[in-house]
């Protein structure tokens, strides 16, 4: 951002928004080792990772609070403050759902049936991919701010947001396949275990949904621009 723009807009909220996105994605990257620990029945490691997720989610919250404290003081922004705050809210939800997933694994020593491991891993891969794309889109916010959320940069981001929606759709399809597999095994599984599998899936799908919602808010900001 040029010196003149810095003087007009004050301290940019977009830099800490990107910082927040990175912190959120750090949380998301822990869903894989959490699940690996579950597969290996390493509940001590799940406890350690759950603490790590909690710490990262707290740090993301601190960044969020700092951004919100600054937003009302700005006289000029290339987008509405309300839209920017909604964007931050949905981006923060991603970390919240990761924490939900970690807590679900921590509160009960659930055993993940070996026949379900490949499908859960496929779900994990898709969720992490969606989050990675969302982080890339968040990084584009810096360039979007330079161009007032318009032009070639904005069109490129809109394409990424469409890809984000497609990624979330694939996550939904995988979730349905996992559910179908779970209920085909209901004679082998106790009801509480099935409930916890459902809780795990719901938390994972919520991560992808929150990422898509974040992209939708950014699309609205670009369209308004």
pTM: 0.92
Label residue 104 exposed, middle or buried (CB < 10 Å: 0-12, 13-18, 19+): buried
Q: What pLDDT, on a 0 to 100 scale, did the predictor assign at position 45? A: 98
Domain that holds residue 80: 3-224
What's the token pair of residue 27? 């949380």
Got the DSSP string for 134-182? HHHHHHTHHHHHHTTT-HHHHHHHHHHHHHHHHHHHHHHHHHHHHHHHH
What do you get for the CA distance between the two ends of the chain, in Å? 18
Q: Give the domain CATH number at 52.
A: 1.20.58.220
In tens digits, the chain (225 residues) has pLDDT values of: 444 444 444 567 899 999 999 999 999 999 999 999 999 999 999 999 999 999 999 999 999 999 998 876 655 778 888 999 999 999 999 999 999 999 999 999 999 999 999 999 999 999 999 999 999 999 999 889 888 898 999 999 999 999 999 999 999 999 999 999 999 999 999 999 999 999 999 999 999 999 999 999 999 999 986
How many Å separate Cα 195 from the centre of its chain?
23
Contact 107, 41 (CB under 8 A): no
Most distant CA atoms of the chain, gap in Å: 68
Q: What pLDDT, on a 0 to 100 scale, did the predictor assign at position 77? A: 78
CA 152 – CA 131 distance, rounded (Å): 23
How many domains does the chain contain in total?
1
E-strand ranges in 123-218 read none
CA 28 – CA 45 distance, rounded (Å): 17
């Amino acid at each position: 951002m040029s010196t003149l723009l810095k003087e007009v807009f004050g301290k940019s909220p977009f830099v800490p928004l990107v910082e927040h996105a990175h912190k959120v994605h750090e949380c998301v990257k822990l869903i894989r080792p959490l699940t690996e620990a579950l597969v290996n029945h390493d509940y001590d490691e799940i406890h350690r990772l759950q603490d790590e997720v909690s710490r990262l989610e707290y740090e993301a919250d601190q960044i969020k609070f700092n951004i919100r404290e600054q937003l009302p003081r700005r006289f000029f922004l290339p987008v509405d403050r309300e839209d920017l705050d909604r964007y931050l809210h949905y981006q923060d939800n991603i970390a919240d759902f990761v924490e939900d997933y970690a807590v679900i694994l921590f509160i009960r020593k659930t055993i993940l049936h070996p026949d379900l491991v490949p499908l859960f891993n496929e779900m994990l891969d898709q969720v992490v991919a969606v989050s990675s794309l969302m982080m890339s889109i968040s990084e584009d916010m810096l360039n979007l701010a330079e161009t007032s959320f318009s032009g070639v940069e904005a069109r490129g981001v809109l394409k990424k947001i469409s890809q984000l929606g497609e990624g979330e759709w694939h996550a939904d399809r995988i979730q349905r396949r996992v559910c179908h597999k779970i209920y085909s095994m209901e004679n082998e599984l106790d009801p509480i275990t099935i409930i916890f599998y459902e809780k795990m899936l719901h938390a994972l799908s919520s991560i992808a949904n929150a990422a898509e919602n974040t992209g939708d808010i950014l699309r609205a900001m670009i369209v308004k621009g």
